Amino acid sequence: MPSDEKLKLEGLDLMRAILLLPILIILMITMLNCGGSESSATNSSNDKADSMDTSADRFKDEPTDAAVSMSPGEFVRVEDTKAKRAGLTSVLLKDGTAMIFGGRTDGSGGFWLNYNFSTEIFNSETGLWTLSGEMNTARAGAIGIVFENGSVLAAGGEGEQNKAIGSTEIWDPETGKWSEVGALNEERDTTDGVLLNDGTVLVAGGRSEAYSLMNSVEVFDPANDQWTTITPLAEARIGHTTTLLQDGRVLVTGGGKKDGPYLKSAEIYDPSTGEWSAGGEMNLSRRSHTASLLQDGRVLISGGSGKRMIAEIWDPADMSFTKTGTLNIPRADHEAVVLQDGRVLVLGGIGNRDSGELWDAATGEWMMSGEMEVGRYEFGATILPDGTVIVAGGNSSEGMTASAEMFKP
Least confident stretch, 67-76, 186-195, 216-225, 388-397: 67-76
For residue 188, pLDDT beyond 80: yes
For residue 317, pLDDT beyond 60: yes
Q: How far apart are CA 153 and CA 6, in angstroms?
A: 115
Which H or E element spans position 131? Answer: strand 128-131
Helix, strand, coil % over all residues of the chain, rounded to 5? 15, 40, 45
The CATH number of the structural domain formed by 71-403 is 2.120.10.80
pLDDT band for position 71 (50/70/90)?
Answer: confident
User: Residue 69 has what pLDDT?
Assistant: 54
pLDDT tens digits, 346-392:
999 998 889 999 999 999 999 999 999 999 999 999 999 999 999 99
Residues contacting residue 257 through CB under 8 Å, at least 6 positions apart = 213, 238, 287
Domain spans of the chain? 71-403
* pTM reported for the whole predicted model: 0.82
User: Residue 107 has what pLDDT?
Assistant: 65
Closest CA to 400 of 156, 126, 7, 85: 85
Closest CA to 189 of 117, 237, 260: 237
Burial of 123 (0-12, 13-18, 19+ CB in 10 A): middle
pLDDT tens digits, 29-53:
444 444 443 333 333 333 333 333 3
Burial of 300 (0-12, 13-18, 19+ CB in 10 A): buried
Beta carbons of 192 and 241 less than 8 angstroms apart: yes
| Chain center to CA of 244 | 15
Buried b (16+ CB within 10 A) or exposed e, 334-343: bbbbbbebbb
pLDDT tens digits, 262-271:
999 999 999 9
Q: How far apart are CA 293 and CA 299, in angstroms?
A: 5
Mean pLDDT of the chain: 86
Radius of gyration of the chain measured on its C-alpha atoms:
33
Least confident stretch, 19-23, 80-84, 198-202: 19-23
pLDDT band for position 112 (50/70/90)?
Answer: low
Beta bridge partners of 405: 77, 391
Beta carbons of 155 and 161 less than 8 angstroms apart: no
Beta carbons of 172 and 151 less than 8 angstroms apart: yes
